[in-house]
Every structure is written in structure tokens, then in C-alpha cells.
Amino acid sequence: MILFLLEYLGTIAFAISGAMVGIQKKMDVFGVAILGLTTAMGGGVIRDLILGLTPPSAFQNPIFAVTAISVGIILFIPSVRKAFENKTRFYENLILFMDSIGLGLFTVAGVQIAHLNVTDNNLFLITFVGVITGVGGGILRDIFAGDKPYIFVKHFYASASIIGAWCCALLWKYIGEAQAMIVGAILTVVLRLLAAHYRWELPKAD
């Protein structure tokens, strides 16, 4: 139940993030819906393929795909779209907030699924699966939108997911599953928002 709730909330958050990028790029309704769907489900599909879980869960339960597509279509409605477009600052902050929430929720959901499917306590694999679940959809979104993947050029994005996933995986056996996921998700979201606010960035090549 906890996993379903996390993935469902993460799906909504990432679908909003992806759909709004599609709107910003002046895509048609199909493009907006597909970008929302890709952002919401791309990381989970990559995760399941890495873990050998086929077909990926995204194709087994249509509720996530239907939700992501519905979010994109709702945001494309002219009255809804204009409400966001006329408030640039609010629009940008909403994308940032929803993207951060999605990153945190999907990161710890990935850690949980890795724990359920990896027999040994492989900290590296569990952390990697958590991170790819969190950032995978965003990478596909940016590629589809014709941009450089956000995680390679902006702030402290993937690093926040790495730290959150690592802490979640490390604390799993010490404080319990639910508590570890809460800590990991909150840590990821807070680091991501702080990085955006204070412009934390990793060193770049000149």
C-alpha cells in the first residue's frame, strides 16, 4: 500500500513536471500528454528492466499511465494552461516543486523495489536502482523535449537523489522500512530545493 501510494503521488508530480515542459515547448496535446507520461513512468521502466522485472510494472497496471496522461490533458486545457502561463514565477516554482517531490518519492520507491527483488544487501545496486528510478524519467523528458538532460547541467539534481537513496538504503535495517523511506524522500526533496535556491552546482568543465 505504501509503495502504491508513493508511486501514485510520484506519478502525478512527475506528470505535472513533464506536461508543463511540453507546454513551455509549445507542443500539441499529444506531445504534452506523452511528455508527462514519459517523465512519470520512464524511470520505473528502466528500473524494472535493470532488475529483470518484465514486463515492467508500468505496463501491468494501467492506472499510472492513465493518471499521467490525464494530468497532461488537464494541464493542456486552455483555461488551465493560461492560468499558469500568466504567472511565470509561480509556473517555474511549481515545476521545481513538483519535480523535486517526484524525485524524492520515486527515489525511495526504487530503493524499496530493489530491496524486494535483490537477494543480497548490495548497497551499490540498491542505491543505483533508487537513483535511476528518480532521474530516469527526467532524462527521457529532456531528450524528447530537445534539451540537454537536466541532471548533467543544472544544480545539485542527481546528487540529491544519490544521497537520499544511499541514506534510505543504509538506514533500512536500522530504523525500519517506512522510516527509512520517509527520511530518504525528505532528504532528497530538501537537498534539491536548497540546491535550486542557493544555486549549488557541481564543478563544470571550462
How much is the pLDDT for 58? 85
Average pLDDT over residues 81-108: 82
Tens digits of residue pLDDT in 120-150 = 778 999 999 999 999 999 899 999 999 888 7
CA atoms within 13 A on the CB side of 24: 19
Q: Which three cell numbers stand for residue 182?
A: 520517509
Give dist(CA 193, CA 190) in Å, integer.
5
Confidence check: pLDDT of 1 > 70: no
Give dist(CA 119, CA 98) in Å, integer.
33
Average pLDDT over residues 2-7: 76
Tens digits of residue pLDDT in 35-68 = 999 999 999 999 999 999 989 988 888 899 999 9
Q: Which three cell numbers stand for residue 60?
A: 501491468
* Predicted TM-score of the model (pTM): 0.89
Average pLDDT over residues 93-117: 90
How much is the pLDDT for 61? 84
How much is the pLDDT for 154? 67
Q: pLDDT over 90 for what percent of the chain?
A: 55
Give dist(CA 143, CA 43) in Å, integer.
14
Mean pLDDT computed over every residue of the chain:
89
Average pLDDT over residues 19-39: 93
